[in-house]
Chain A
Amino acid sequence: MISSDELSGHTFEELSDYLDRGRTPADPSIDSSPECQTALSGMQRLRRTHRALLRRDVQRESEREESWVSSILQHINLEARAGRDIPISHPSPTARLSVTEGAVRGILRAAGDNVPGIIVGRCRLDGDVANLGAPITVRVDATVMEGENIPALADQLREALYSALHQHTELSVAAVDITIRDLYQSAAPRRRK
């Protein structure tokens, strides 16, 4: 039915490729051939039908009961993100206390999440955290809600991070570097159950 001699000298493969390239650069010998156009519109119909099928299937999977989500979350290994041990001093000479780097990152995220209009991304502790008193630079990526005042929010975030670190750790923080990587739009109304 669709063979190359009926496609004005083009192969089906060429047309399939052409479609995937978004029909650019335009090829007049394809665009002006009725046979090619028939084949291309068939492929497009196939793609449309497939998208409809996919939407339906994904929708069905989204509506499933949630046991698969909790099962996944139960099986991931949280220790994998512990990172370095950060010492905390203690009056007793025999006691050794420490908090993990992963936990400190969690503290930073939690502090950042309490500042409206900004979402903290990656958090890094640069420096010799195992050595009490060594200067540490905290590097944090963040995204800011569209329309917010970026410098003011960054200051607010920096203050929140400083105070959380001060409260929970004895790190000697030399600097808090905040990089605003992107803007985000305010949240759509929640659709969660």
Chain B
Amino acid sequence: MTTLLQREPAPHPLESASDLTLADRAADGDVRAFEILVRRYGPLMRVYASRVLGSNDEMDDVVQESFITAWQQLPTLDNGAAVKSWLMRIVSRKSVDRVRARRQHVDIDLTDAPAPAQHSPHRLAEAGSQTEALTRALADLPEDQRRCWTLRELAECSYGDIAEELELPVSTVRGLLARARKTLLHEMEEWR
């Protein structure tokens, strides 16, 4: 019976359909609509995950887990038009879970801690311009500042959303964001 869902023809310009339409259809079980959402926001989610994780190794897993969760929970999403920030918050949570799990592992196995992000091959390959300077500076930010910054600048979350997501008072979020900007700006000035 589910094959009926998979065999749907797609003669329509669904690719250009609004987030609301796609989220509603996906919530109803339309795999094709879900696939378009995956293509539309998957690349941004992959960038997001790699920023939080500090490497690309676990990015595929985290993004896949995020979309599986999204598929399960789409019927509970009240406003399909907000599917982008909803997806970004899922990938943010999954990425942080990964980082925490990794840290627990490090606590147990102190002798063999994974290489910090700044030594990953991905980063060593970077050289040269302002954007590369920023990439380095971002990777070196303290974790709480980086989470605030990525939620704000990649996921485009409001201060209130970030506070809720990180379970912090809005005033703390404001402070962390300002500190992140100050540090990044300082690093970029140095580089100029």
Q: Which residues of A contact B (CB under 8 A)?
A: 1-2, 11-13, 15-17, 20, 42-43, 45-47, 49-50, 52-54, 56-59, 61-62, 64, 68-69, 71-73, 75-82, 99-100, 102-103, 105-107, 109-110, 113-114, 116, 119-123, 141, 143, 181-182, 184-188, 190, 192
Contact = CB atoms under 8 A, between A and B. Distances in A.
Given A17-B178, A49-B130, A119-B21, A61 B28 contact: no
Given A49-B188, A102-B5, A81 B28 contact: yes
Instruction: Name the residue in B14, B24, B28, B47 with the highest tally of chain A Cβ atoms < 10 Å from its Cβ.
Output: B28
Contact of A184 (B18, B131, B184): B18
Contact of B185 (A46, A79, A81, A100): A46
Give the interface size class of chain B: 35 or more
Given A46-B184, A58-B47, A106 B29 contact: yes
Given A2-B182, A62-B43, A121-B24, 4 more contacts: A46-B185, A78-B31, A102-B2, A184-B21
The SS class assigned to the A binding surface is helix
A67 to B, nearest CB: 9
A123 B178 contact: no
Instruction: Name the residue in B29, B63, B178 with the highest tally of chain A Cβ atoms < 10 Å from its Cβ.
Output: B29
A50 B38 CA distance: 23
B110 interface: no
Contact of B20 (A81, A109, A182): A182
Contact of B8 (A54, A59, A113): A113
A156 B46 CA distance: 41
Given A57-B47, A68-B42, A107 B2 contact: no
Nearest to A19: B181
Nearest to A16: B178
